Chain A
Amino acid sequence: MKALVKGAGVAGLTAAYELALRGAAVTVVEPRSDPTRAASWFAGGMLAPDCERESAEPIVQELGLGAADWWDAALPGHVARAGTLVVAPARDAAELARFAARTSGFRTLGEAEISELEPDLAGRFRLALHFVREAHLDPRAALTALRGRLEAMGASFVGAEAGQVSRFDLTVDCTGMARAASDPALRGVRGEMLILRTPEVTLSRPVRLLHPRFPLYVVPRPDHCFMVGATMIESESARPVTARSMMELLNAAYSVHPAFGEAEIVETGVGVRPAYPDNLPRVTQSGATISINGLYRHGFLLAPAMAQRAAQLAFGNSRTRELAHEAHG
């Protein structure tokens, strides 16, 4: 089978990988002039199915549970399995109770256990939730490595124009927001993030800071870098980060550790997440075209499951569960 995958973000690359594993001859076309503008370039890289259950449908948790294993198998060494630490400022203890009531798979830690797990957070929080089976990865390193892995498997990468040259048995459309014009159900959810660099703080796992207004997270990256993210704004605008959002992001980092006040701001970024009204992804087939879209804030978490589903559709073996928004009321 000759397959054309449109889009080289996390949806496209994971789909290409699943197809290549099954023996397809894969060509990946990146319609964007600059691949670092894909939404997944700005992702947190958290593989956090249990935490996401706080606001996501049960199916997100169910499908996301396999993500860490998938990434580990595809890219050995990229996945850090250290869990997620969820904390709240002392006066927002009610947020922690609310979060705990809506999630599972965590241990409740006291001060001593927190400092054992994250020594730099010693004395900063009285209570924390440790989601033990969660993991994280560096999205940019993972995307780059996955691309390398695909090339090693014989997949070819071409620019926008080259995609038209030869004929394909199958097209997999993973172009995200670019499809919004032809898919009216798709909307954008703007996310702003920044990358801080400081040698003064060491974290081994993502830290989520609960706050009634600005729940944000800090994810450790290599080279003393930390990704701080991400806002959720109902807008398709990809314009630069606003001062207000920057303030919120910096406040969150500062609340996790005051040393972030002295950190360098290495980068600010804005991504527009493609989402459907129920915030669940869709894999759809129309003739010889399969589309994966609507990964919302769950790109790295759900792309593997969506890619597997697309590959099963492509190879005529579809026994996967229908993804559907659960009926309410």
Chain B
Amino acid sequence: MLSLYGRQLSSRLLLGTAQYPSPAVLADAVRASKTEVVTVSLRREMAGGQTGGQFWSLIEQLGVAVLPNTAGCHSVKEAVTTAHMARELLDTNWIKLEVIGNHDTLQPDVFGLVEAARILSGDGFAVFPYTTDDLVVAERLLEAGCQVLMPWCAPIGSAKGPLNIDALRTLRGHFADVPLVVDAGLGRPSHAAAVMELGFDAVLLNTAVAKAGDPVAMASAFGKAVEAGHEAFLAGMLEPRDMAVPSTPVIGKAVFS
């Protein structure tokens, strides 16, 4: 079972709640994916200092854990303030920490990220940092108090899938006991299965489901892919070899070639 900051989860898929055609489709997608954690962006929904009341009750009615995020924050101060607002509004100490460093690629500002993670961990938050696949940054985040790491596999919403398998493998190799969640960049269920096969603990995605032709069917497809990838990882996969190995024995058969 997956454990994130002490919370036991049977689903290894975390789902974002933005960009769906309607809250009703979002609710159906959450059910179809069997996810137990959804992320919610706070900054935008809090225009004017108030939340979208009805939207929040729709999210609450989903009956899953809410992981508020600091999407759209470009500085440590913004991110920290947003996290505190989230804790007050949603009564959770979970925070998906995003500190954006580049507007175009939405690449995390890893320096700001580490600083904000240190502040928030000190303030009693359970920090889920959205980071790159950089090993040293990952170490710094753990030192800052994070107990979960959320590396990207490609830029947010790009649907490119894992761009640097080696880096992901390195992270997994170095942090055998830290829950690692691939966050951002997944486009297809096969991408999700691929990173789960590497031994990642979970994946978080949004756009690939929300913007699919049929978000509900896609949510279900991702749910299955994540499960399949994880099961395959546990089962132990064959390593590729250069020579063909027949699945039926050839000993005793005449060899003419």
Give A residues with C-beta under 8 Å from B.
55-57, 98, 101-102, 180, 184-190, 212-213, 233-239, 242, 244, 275, 277-280, 325, 328-329
Question: Which of B23, B58, B219 has the largest number of chain A CB atoms within 10 A?
Answer: B23
Known contacts: A325-B24, A329-B216. The answer to whether A235 contacts B211 by CB under 8 A is no
Q: Which of B23, B45, B49 contacts A277 (CB 8 A)?
A: B23
- Which residues in window 1-60 of B have CB below 8 A to A? 21-25, 27-29, 31-32, 44-55, 58
Known contacts: A101-B213, A279-B24. The answer to whether A233 contacts B157 by CB under 8 A is no
Least CB distance from B23 to A in Å reads 5
Q: Are B31 and A329 touching (Cβ within 8 A)?
A: yes
Residues of B within 8 A of A235 (CB): 44-48, 50-52, 55
Residues of B within 8 A of A188 (CB): 52, 54
Residues of B within 8 A of A189 (CB): 52
Least CB distance from A7 to B in Å reads 19
Inter-chain CA distance A234–B22, complex, in Å, is 11
Query: What residue of chain A has the Cβ atom nearest to residue B215's Cβ?
Result: A328
Q: Which of B24, B47, B54, B213 contacts A102 (CB 8 A)?
A: B213
Least CB distance from A302 to B in Å reads 14
Known contacts: A190-B47, A233-B45, A235-B50. The answer to whether A279 contacts B21 by CB under 8 A is yes
Q: Are B47 and A233 touching (Cβ within 8 A)?
A: yes
Least CB distance from A275 to B in Å reads 8
Residues of B within 8 A of A238 (CB): 48
Q: Are B50 and A329 touching (Cβ within 8 A)?
A: no
Q: List 15 A-B contacts (CB under 8 A).
A: A98-B211, A189-B52, A190-B52, A233-B47, A234-B44, A235-B44, A235-B47, A235-B52, A236-B52, A236-B54, A238-B48, A278-B22, A279-B21, A328-B28, A329-B28
Residues of A within 8 A of B49 (CB): 237
Known contacts: A233-B44, A235-B46, A237-B48. The answer to whether A329 contacts B54 by CB under 8 A is no
Residues of B within 8 A of A180 (CB): 54
Query: What residue of chain A has the Cβ atom nearest to residue B213's Cβ?
Result: A102
- B206 close to A (CB within 8 Å): no
Q: Are B45 and A56 touching (Cβ within 8 A)?
A: no
Inter-chain CA distance A124–B47, complex, in Å, is 34
Question: Which of B22, B25, B32, B45 has the largest number of chain A CB atoms within 10 A?
Answer: B22
Majority-rule SS of A interface residues? loop
Residues of B within 8 A of A57 (CB): 21
Q: Are A328 and B216 touching (Cβ within 8 A)?
A: yes
Inter-chain CA distance A190–B21, complex, in Å, is 15
Residues of A within 8 A of B214 (CB): 328
Q: Which of B44, B52, B72, B220 contacts A329 (CB 8 A)?
A: B220
Give B residues with C-beta under 8 Å from A.
21-25, 27-29, 31-32, 44-55, 58, 72, 157, 211, 213-217, 219-220
Inter-chain CA distance A244–B4, complex, in Å, is 33
Inter-chain CA distance A186–B157, complex, in Å, is 30
Q: Are B213 and A212 touching (Cβ within 8 A)?
A: no
Residues of B within 8 A of A277 (CB): 22-24, 27, 58
Q: Which of A187, A239, A328 contacts B54 (CB 8 A)?
A: A187
Inter-chain CA distance A190–B157, complex, in Å, is 23
Shortest 9 CB-CB contacts between residues of A and residues of B: A187-B54, A237-B48, A328-B216, A239-B48, A279-B22, A234-B52, A234-B55, A278-B24, A328-B28
Least CB distance from B134 to A in Å reads 25
Question: Which of A235, A238, A279, A325 has the largest number of chain B CB atoms within 10 A?
Answer: A235
Inter-chain CA distance A56–B72, complex, in Å, is 26
Residues of A within 8 A of B31 (CB): 329
Q: Are A55 and B21 touching (Cβ within 8 A)?
A: yes
Least CB distance from A259 to B in Å reads 24
Q: Are B216 and A187 touching (Cβ within 8 A)?
A: no
Inter-chain CA distance A180–B54, complex, in Å, is 9
Least CB distance from A227 to B in Å reads 20
Residues of A within 8 A of B21 (CB): 55-57, 279
Residues of A within 8 A of B22 (CB): 275, 277-280, 325
Q: Are A187 and B53 touching (Cβ within 8 A)?
A: yes
Known contacts: A277-B58, A328-B32, A329-B220. The answer to whether A237 contacts B24 by CB under 8 A is no
Inter-chain CA distance A189–B31, complex, in Å, is 23
Question: Which of A102, A236, A325, A329 has the largest number of chain B CB atoms within 10 A?
Answer: A329
Inter-chain CA distance A186–B211, complex, in Å, is 24
Inter-chain CA distance A275–B31, complex, in Å, is 22
Q: Are A236 and B50 touching (Cβ within 8 A)?
A: yes
Residues of A within 8 A of B29 (CB): 328-329
